Structure 1
Amino acid sequence: MVRSMNPGHWILILFIFISSQSSCFARAATTYFQLKVYHFQTTDQEEVIDRFLEKAYLPAMHKLGFKEIGVFKPIDNKDKADKLVYVFSSSPNLEKYASLDVDILKDKRYLESGKEYLDAAHNHPPYARIETILMKAFDGMPLLSLPKLSTDKSERVYELRSYEGPTEKLAANKISMFNNGEIDIFKKLNFNAVFYGQVIAGSTMPNLIYLTTFENMTEREAHWKAFGPLYKPMAELPQYQNNVSKNVTILCRPTDYSDI
């Protein structure tokens, strides 16, 4: 004999199902970011890196589901002995980064197109070193935002900032400051932020990194001038004191082949 289920049981099951779906959605509603940093010294190395990224790496990453890949270089690269190329990507799934090194090698086009870089001789490497920084998006902006800019890429200014905290607790306090008002100021003034990320693996932890973008240097300066008066009342609040021990600011321009 089949017993009919109590209506209350159906309600309970429905509630558990909806709760589980909501929980899964909540867990998925964030983004992980990777900032891959190439260190190099010579023009030859830079050209090899550029050809590899444009012809092999970006197409392979797109095929693996990484939609928007940003490639940008510090404006003052020419004046530095240690020159840099930043490669930015994002994914809602951290596991995609864990398996990336294995998955990308399954792409035959990648292996062929990137042969110059991938098979470089030990005494003629295309870079000095590579570092990788992994981040998790802030609650205040959990998804990547593409900049809305109209100028030529050669004129744009991308401002990459890293705020190092004295301790983990104070670094978390600075992130709270972003989530509870600072991001809103950036939005109000149209700083065209691409991401705000808490560093979960990197060389200068604890720290956060974010990227804002501007049409040109003049616009960048005007935006920061407008930012000060709106930010000052928040910066003076007692609960937000001494939460940044070092501010590293790098002004960059995107490459012609950058998605962002």
Structure 2
Amino acid sequence: MSRLIPFVFLLCFFTTSYSQSEIYELRVYELEFFKPAKVLHDYFQQALIPALNRQGVKPVGAFEELGEALPKKIYLLIPYASMQAYQEVADALENDKQFKLDAKPYAEAPQEEIPFNHIESSFIRSTSGFPNLVKPAENSTVFELRIYESHNEDALRRKVKMFNDSEFSIFEDVGLHTVFFGANISGSQMPCLTYLLAFKDMEEHKEAWSKFGPHPEWQRIIKLDEYANAMNDITRIFLKPLAYSQL
């Protein structure tokens, strides 16, 4: 009987914390060294993103990492109303004649012209505290992608609750502009949550985070036993939008 308790506990969590949630697909294309990526950029800009937009999937984000990190990577952020919507859009693209025509240069490119080694795809479900993607300000040039890992599902539940109950309001107070937030339902770093912040520049980023630690609400909640050991690792990636990004 005791083995049922964690399952029921997490079932209640998912039911209450994820009602009316969105689904985000985060794709990461790892590029080969010194290989031109034009065929891939053209595919995104001229075929995939317009086809997704025709299905009501918008805005679609397209980013690359700031700096000169190798291997280079391209990030696509694709929002869906639900997992069912994702399935319906995938089926629609299979039957979209315009998409197939626009994607032909990419689909028929010889193997040696395909610039990436592999694609990683994660699905992220938004939570009640931040249920919908928010398009950032037009002058946003720096994006910060954060992934918080937890040691088990209950620790993740507690970290998500910490955001839902308090951290989003702190973010708003200090100028940490959230684009999306959610708990991963697939991917390589689970159990984890993922979110994206947008800034005008690195100076705004630095100023906002400098206000976060001393914030009185943050100082209150980090002392609560409920949230102790809710997170054990952070991945932080700085991104910049590509010319055709809709975010």
TM value normalised by structure 2: 0.86
1:28–1:204 CA distance, 2 compared to 1 (3 A): closer
What is the 5 A alignment of 1:81-230? 82-150=71-139, 156-230=141-215
How far residue 127 of structure 1 moved from its aligned partner, in angstroms, is: 1.3
> 2:56 is paired with a residue of what secondary structure?
coil
Tell me which amino acid in the other structure corresponds to 2:98: R
How far residue 122 of structure 1 moved from its aligned partner, in angstroms, is: 3.2
Structure 2 Cα separation of the partners of residues 150 and 122 of structure 1: 38
1:70 aligns with 2:76: no
How far residue 96 of structure 1 moved from its aligned partner, in angstroms, is: 2.3
How far residue 250 of structure 1 moved from its aligned partner, in angstroms, is: 0.2
**Deviation per CA, 1:141-195, whole angstroms, max 9, x where unpaired?**
11111112436xxxx1100000010111101110010001011111122322111
> 2:167 is paired with a residue of what secondary structure?
helix
Structure 2 Cα separation of the partners of residues 109 and 92 of structure 1: 23
1:49–1:140 CA distance, 2 compared to 1 (3 A): same
Larger deviation: 174-183 or 88-97? 88-97
Which structure 1 residue ranges, 5 or more long, are not aligned? 1-25
Number of residue-to-residue matches in the alignment? 229
How far residue 233 of structure 1 moved from its aligned partner, in angstroms, is: 2.7
After the TM superposition, which segments of 4 or more aligned residues of structure 1 sit over 6 Å from their partners? none
Tell me which amino acid in the other structure corresponds to 1:256: A
1:79 aligns with 2:66: no
Structure 2 Cα separation of the partners of residues 123 and 102 of structure 1: 29
How far residue 253 of structure 1 moved from its aligned partner, in angstroms, is: 0.4
**Deviation per CA, 1:73-115, whole angstroms, max 9, x where unpaired?**
1103x331x2211111212221122244432132222222222
How far residue 234 of structure 1 moved from its aligned partner, in angstroms, is: 1.7
> 2:175 is paired with a residue of what secondary structure?
coil
1:42–1:115 CA distance, 2 compared to 1 (3 A): farther
| CA contact 1:34–1:132 (8 Å) conserved in 2 | yes
Query: Percent identity of the aligned residues?
Result: 28
Residue 44 of structure 2 corresponds to 53
How far residue 43 of structure 1 moved from its aligned partner, in angstroms, is: 4.8
TM value normalised by structure 1: 0.82
Cα RMSD over matched residues?
1.9
How far residue 34 of structure 1 moved from its aligned partner, in angstroms, is: 1.0
Structure 1 Cα separation of the partners of residues 152 and 40 of structure 2: 36
Structure 2 Cα separation of the partners of residues 145 and 67 of structure 1: 11
How far residue 64 of structure 1 moved from its aligned partner, in angstroms, is: 1.1
| CA contact 1:161–1:211 (8 Å) conserved in 2 | yes
How far residue 28 of structure 1 moved from its aligned partner, in angstroms, is: 7.0
Structure 1 Cα separation of the partners of residues 46 and 35 of structure 2: 16
Which structure 2 residue ranges, 5 or more long, are not aligned? 1-16
Structure 1 Cα separation of the partners of residues 30 and 152 of structure 2: 28
